[in-house]
Amino acid sequence: MEAVETASRSTSRSLRRVGILYDERMCRHHTPDDEPHPENPNRIRAIWNKLQSAGISQRCEVLSAKEAEDKYILSVHGKSHVDLIRNISSQQYNSRRNRIASKLNSIYLNEGSSEAAYLAAGSVIEVAKRVAKGELDSAFAIVRPPGHHAEHDEAMGFCLFNNVAIATNFLLNEKELGINKILIVDWDVHHGNGTQKTFWKDPRVLFFSVHRHEFGSFYPSNDDGDYTMIGEGPGAGYNINVPWENGRCGDADYLAVWDHILIPVAKQFNPDMILISAGFDAAVGDPLGGCCVTPYGYAMLLRKLMDFARGKIVLALEGGYNLASISNSALACMEVLLDEKIVTGSTEAYPFESTWRVIQVVRQELKAFWSVLADEVPTKLISQKAPIPVKKILISSCDSEAEDVEELLQEVIRPLSTLRVDEDCRVLAESASVSWRSDLSNIDIWYATFGSNMWKPRFLFYIEGGQVDGMQKLCSGSMDKRPPKEILWKIFPHRLFFGRESTRTWGLGGVAFLHPESKNEDIVHMCLYRITLEQFNDVLHQENISSYDMSSPLFDLDCVKEKGSINLEAVKLSHSGL
Ligand code: Q9C
Ligand code: ZN
């Protein structure tokens, strides 16, 4: 008899039996000389510590890891791959290990890798088995290395064995468990290529992945994650990809995809169990993902899935590289599993226009297989896209003589309009570099604001962090939390104009400038804050919720200097903010 069946539940335990699995042995997989790497042992430690200090693990059945048996791993991987991962940590491989890793795509290996890989796969099997048997209602396996990129004969993308695929095959093959249809939801920001391939022709497994794709340029950088990849043979229609065209997707985008694709299909598919490839690298603040799902967003996504498979849900950790983000996201999910907080409501934001477009093409592609997708999405909904902003910044010179408007337009407006505020910030480095910070922390700028930022307490949330009033938005603040060194109110004899037709973040007219030309009646009140260029970048990042890739500044002086005649001095003297 299993321990969890006999354990009498104390009153502090949840009414729901929720399993949580953590094992320190999975921390022994790390880079050979412990060089920094985003996929490092502190990821699972951070989550585990958070769940303990929040009192969550105390309300759960705590399980420890078990190594997977080869026969289960072999249901997904080839023999040579299994042999390699089993032996890679042995001494015979000491001299070859690094060379082997370097030939693989985004993989490191050390003496702890074999054991961790077996434990990660075995742990997902373990919790899945207990949920299938009804010993647990649901469970979260805090495992690493992650799994969803691992293919039949190939480790890649930080993944050695495909943990979720292995557990899925285990459930289907253990006939007495009575699990015949499984829904895999892969909300890791990357495409679950390995899982997709495993079940490509298998109608017992509905694989759903939502991921940054950018037309095949985002990792794993090929067409596998395209929406046209729907499965084959008997599996046709049982593979659903939702490929983002850009980063910066957040709660509103994910919820729209849930409401208009995943949830209707889940209803029709009616799974016996749900496995979630629960990477948290689409979370706000993730250095690789560049998306902005909040813990509240994850809670909603999970809550909506609990209405299926009689709540039999297993979460297995995949990616997620910001320790605070993944811990908070995991905590939010555990609270949902424990059913202790009601999560309802909607988000402040609307989905991107591109999100509605993707939803429509996915529905079109799959409607032959899922009748619930056949109807057009109401135009009323689609017209609700990322809102028109109430504000924004970026001013040029305040006391220009306006004698050479043409030149000013060329030299001020053009460089400003090339700011990367609205661009896709592709993450080039594995970990966010912070080297720009020290340079920019020594440079003061005047940040001229209008609209809500003129109200100091409101603006300070972007510096000090906190909850912006009237919005469900939690600001992280700047890394430099010093208050503005000076605050100035000024009236400028100019008018504001929108420098672009639209930006993806703010919608129409997203970025405003002071018009360099001055007409008699023109007047604008602005509040100027003297802050550092580092702080300014942090403000920009938060206001354009979008780019949480902090590996490079959105704005530095090169943007201006390169273009020639707007020099540093001029920027300082003219009290120009940016
Ligand atoms: N220039 C998971 O989240 N990035 N894996 C490679 C190459 C690899 C992510 C970038 C990202 C793998 C489980
Ligand atoms: Zn990922």
By DSSP bridging, strand 313-317 and strand 138-141 are parallel
- Given this model, what pLDDT does residue 564 score? 35
515 tagged catalytic: no
Ligand 1, atom 9: closest residue by C-alpha:
157
DSSP 509: T
| Ion ligand 2, residue ranges at CB < 5 A | 188, 190, 279, 281, 319
Catalytic residue among 29, 30, 81, 149: 149
Residues with CB under 6 A from ligand 1: 106, 146, 149, 157-159, 188, 190, 219, 279, 281, 318-319
Residue owning tokens 């999970």: 302
Q: Which residue's entry shows tokens 């009601």?
A: 342
What is the token pair recorded at 2? 């299993």
Are 49 and 18 contacting, i.e. CB atoms less than 8 angstroms apart? no
For tokens 């023999």, what's the residue? 79
CA distances from 325 to 237, 458, 563 (A): 34, 24, 38
pLDDT in tens, the chain (578 residues): 334 433 344 446 778 999 999 999 999 999 999 999 999 999 999 999 999 999 999 999 999 999 999 999 999 999 999 999 999 999 999 999 999 999 999 999 999 999 999 999 999 999 999 999 999 999 999 999 999 999 999 999 999 999 999 999 999 999 999 999 999 999 999 999 999 999 999 999 999 999 999 999 999 999 999 999 999 999 999 999 999 999 889 999 999 999 999 999 999 999 999 999 999 999 999 999 999 999 999 999 999 999 999 999 999 999 999 999 999 999 999 999 998 767 766 666 789 999 999 999 999 999 999 999 999 999 989 988 875 333 333 333 333 333 444 554 555 445 444 444 433 333 333 344 567 788 788 888 888 877 667 778 888 888 988 876 555 567 888 889 999 998 888 777 777 766 555 555 554 544 566 666 667 777 777 788 889 888 888 888 777 654 445 666 666 655 444 433 333 322 323 333 33
CA of 35 to the centre of ligand 1 (A): 16
Strands 524-532 and 486-492: antiparallel
Distance 546 CA to ligand 1 centre (A): 20
Residue 190 CA to ligand 2 centre (angstroms): 4
pLDDT of the residue at 419: 47
Q: List, for residues 65-74, the tens digit of each pLDDT value.
A: 999 999 999 9
Give residue 371's pLDDT: 98
Give the number of the atom of ligand 1 that is nearest the alpha carbon of residue 318: 13
Residue 490 confidence (pLDDT): 78
Residue 238 C-beta-side C-alpha neighbours within 13 Å: 23
CB 181 within 8 A of CB 269: yes
Token pair of 335, please?
Answer: 């609270």
For the CA atoms of 435, 441, 445, 449, the dihedral, rounded to the nearest 10 degrees, stands at 80
Choose the residue to mutate in 288, 321, 325 for probing ligand 1, maximizing ligand atoms within 8 Å of C-beta. Answer: 288
Distance, in Å, from the CA atom of 190 to the CA atom of 141, rounded to the nearest integer, reads: 19
Mutate to test the pocket of ligand 1, among 190, 222, 276, 321 (most ligand atoms within 8 A of CB): 190
Smallest-distance ligand from the CA of 39: 1
Q: How far is CA 38 from the centre of its chain?
A: 14
Interstrand relation of 496-498 and 512-514 (parallel, antiparallel or unpaired): antiparallel
Q: To the nearest 10°, the Cα dihedral for 411, 414, 420, 424?
A: -150
| pTM, entire model | 0.70
**Three-state DSSP class for residue 48:** helix
Tell me which ligand sits closest to the C-alpha of residue 194. Answer: 1
